[in-house]
Amino acid sequence: MKRYGLRAAALGYLLLLLAIPVGMVFYRMFENGLSPVWDELTSPAFTHALQVTLIIVAIAVPANTIFGIFCALAIVRRGSGRGNWLLNSLIGLPLALSPVVVGLSLILVYGRNGWAGDWFLDNGVRVIFSLPGMVLATIFVSLPFVVREVVPVLREIGTDQEEAAWTLGASRTTTFWRITLPAIRWGVAYGVVLTTARALGEYGAVAVVSGRLVGSTETLTLHIDERYLAFDQTAVYTTAVVLAVLAVVTLVAMNMLGRKERLGGDHRPAGNETLR
Amino acid sequence: MAITVQQVTKRFGSFVALDSVSVAIPSGSLTALLGPSGSGKSTLLRVIAGLEQADEGRVEILGEDATNLEPQKRGVGMVFQHYAAFKHMTVYDNVAFGLTIRKRPKNEVRDRVQDLLSLVQLDGLARRYPSQLSGGQRQRMALARALAIEPKVLLLDEPFGALDARVRKELREWLRRLHDEVHVTTVLVTHDQEEAMEVSDRVVLMNEGRIEQIGKPRDLYEHPANEFVMSFVGPVNRLGDGFVRPHDIELRLEPNGSTSQAAVERVVYLGFEVRVELALDGGERLWAQVTRDEAKRLGLDRGHVVFIRPNRTRVFDQSAG
């Protein structure tokens, strides 16, 4: 009985906090019928914003995944004392800093008269108020997730499997691809989901560095804000739903990958076998 | 000699794990590195495997200098205490790993893996995952995996340490038989003197990063070089300056010229063996090990007075210890 009570309480809480507001968004989206929704989905401003968001995700997520895995390896396998402490603190920084501060700091470095900004401008690359800056901002704010997920998994699996592979003749590269990466894949997958979610939904840092030019440097989140200020309700809710769907798709894709693998037998319990 | 270690020193910070250790492992032998935890036995094994780099000294495998060779190129098979099974691979793929990364032909790999699986009595379990095996099965899989690359030497790091007592005993006997069958030079690290005595034909007894004695199991028991060896390889009583094994204490009901008087404090029956705890007149305590029949003949009980005569008492030169 107690278990059901608890479950009902948890569900009720989630319903109140998540399901009802998100449901309202769906309801508002179709309030004026289907055609305004279609108009929004086909409008150049929306399609461009979708494109920009997907490009940013397509760059930021792989970049942070690769960096995250190597950074976690550096911390766990090569780490020692002070260097580790510094690296750990730096990795945590994006979580502690307000995204707006992240955006401003990027402007200070890459903007006009910034440390590196003039050099980039002289070489014909515009970083701030342009896509490179938005990618940088997104990478910055979604940096810690893969590292944070992979570090504990690496600690837990220890070095035994890698050392066994070495003695069997596997080079360090082979060992990484054949042993280490498969062993940490769950941590990586979960980190990728979190990174993707953050990259899709980032607003503050991207808002500061983008310049918010409609049809040019506008992501889906910025598009929502811009439409909201224009009192274009259908556009706001439609875009919000698209963002939600993208997030859900990422989650479901990861879960399906996981299920397929579990059916492969990897995590099946040993069952009631005899001891030997 | 299959392995020659010359004056190897290894430090971890200020801790000296190996202090100028030299040892030679003959080809085809099954040698146990025995010692308490922290004695350096696992470090020595890892230095031989190339998983630790010696600070000083030299390691040779089959006469070739391996001191600076990577573990990949040493041709050693290694088995770890906690199995180190590749959890995401089947038993088959685990055993085949060393061969597939060498890009051996598929049918050659298949035949070899099948042979090895039947050698370690895991036929029929090739499609299982390690999580579906018991500890003993996992360790035999790890052994097959190490043997697959036809290693020059086989290194076992506390291979039975994570198993329960019954399985451990079975696997020991099995390992001994396997070694008689495959003859690969094997080095076994253990902290269990009974395991070392039972399985190996040579024991290297280590303590605090140094080697205390090397010899056949029986030599270590019967001719220990010092106090540490004597007390590590079997039970021991201290009697004045000397040391005596509990089974070398003779109990009598009547005194003769060379006995001393003692009071029986406790008699413990452990099946065939009976443990008699004694207090000497001087207050010294010791225990004697007698057979059940002997205890019955003497009618031993708490509070009785007996006369003891220690045989084969050993006195070690303190300055050497």
Which residue does chain A place closest to B137, by CA atoms? A276
According to the model, what pLDDT value does residue A86 have? Answer: 85
Note which residues in 6-25 of chain B have CB less than 8 A from chain A: none
Residue B46: helix, strand or coil by DSSP? Answer: helix
Note whether B101 contacts A174, CB cutoff 8 Å. yes
In this prediction, what percent of chain B has a pLDDT beyond 90?
Answer: 82
Section A232-260 average pLDDT: 86
Note which residues in 143-172 of chain A have CB less than 8 A from chain B: 158, 160-161, 163-171
Rounded to a whole number of angstroms, the distance from the CA of B281 to the nearest CA of chain A is: 51
Encode pLDDT of A153-203 as tens digits. 999 999 999 999 999 999 999 999 999 999 999 899 999 999 999 999 999
According to the model, what pLDDT value does residue A118 have? Answer: 83
Residue A208 has pLDDT above 70, yes or no: yes
Note whether A266 contacts B87, CB cutoff 8 Å. yes
Question: A37 with A30: CB under 8 angstroms?
Answer: yes
Rounded CA separation A70/A83 (Å):
15
Section B175-191 average pLDDT: 93
Axis-axis angle for helices A44-77, A181-201 (nearest 10): 140
According to the model, what pLDDT value does residue A26 have? Answer: 86
Q: Which residues lie below 8 Å from residue B156, measured CB to CB, with a gap of 6+?
A: B78, B79, B143, B186, B187, B188, B189
- CA distance readout (Å), B21 to A128, B53, B74, B155: 63, 14, 20, 18
Choose among A160, A165, A171: nearest Cβ to B82.
Answer: A160
Rounded CA separation A104/B75 (Å):
56
Rounded to a whole number of angstroms, the distance from the CA of A251 to the nearest CA of chain B is: 23
In this prediction, what percent of chain B has a pLDDT beyond 70?
Answer: 99
DSSP string, B229-263: HHHHHS--EEETTEEE-GGGEEEESS--TT-EEEE
Contacts of A166 in chain B (CB under 8 A): 50-51, 70-72
Section B72-81 average pLDDT: 95
Note whether B101 contacts A164, CB cutoff 8 Å. no
According to the model, what pLDDT value does residue B26 have? Answer: 96
Pairwise pLDDT comparison (A18 vs A246), residue with the higher score: A246
Exposed/middle/buried for residue B309 (C-beta within 10 Å: 0-12, 13-18, 19+): middle
Section B124-153 average pLDDT: 95
Rounded to a whole number of angstroms, the distance from the CA of A182 to the nearest CA of chain B is: 7
Note whether A274 contacts B134, CB cutoff 8 Å. yes
Note whether B136 contacts A275, CB cutoff 8 Å. yes
Note whether B78 contacts A164, CB cutoff 8 Å. yes
Nearest to B290 by CA among B308, B312, B317, B316: B308
Of the listed ranges A246-260, B87-101, B225-239, the one predicted with least confidence:
A246-260
Encode pLDDT of B243-293 as tens digits. 999 999 999 998 888 888 999 999 999 888 999 999 988 888 999 999 999
User: Could you tell me the pLDDT band of residue A254, with boundaries at 50, 70 and 90?
Assistant: confident
Contacts of A158 in chain B (CB under 8 A): 82
DSSP string, A203-253: -HHHHHHH---TTTS--HHHHHHHHHHTT-HHHHHHHHHHHHHHHHHHHHH
Residue A80 has pLDDT above 50, yes or no: yes
User: Could you tell me the pLDDT band of residue B61, with boundaries at 50, 70 and 90?
Assistant: very high
Rounded to a whole number of angstroms, the distance from the CA of B88 to the nearest CA of chain A is: 6
Rounded CA separation B72/A4 (Å):
56
Residue B102: helix, strand or coil by DSSP? Answer: coil
Note whether A167 contacts B87, CB cutoff 8 Å. no
Please tell me if residue A272 touches chain B, with a CB cutoff of 8 Å. Answer: no
According to the model, what pLDDT value does residue A266 have? Answer: 42
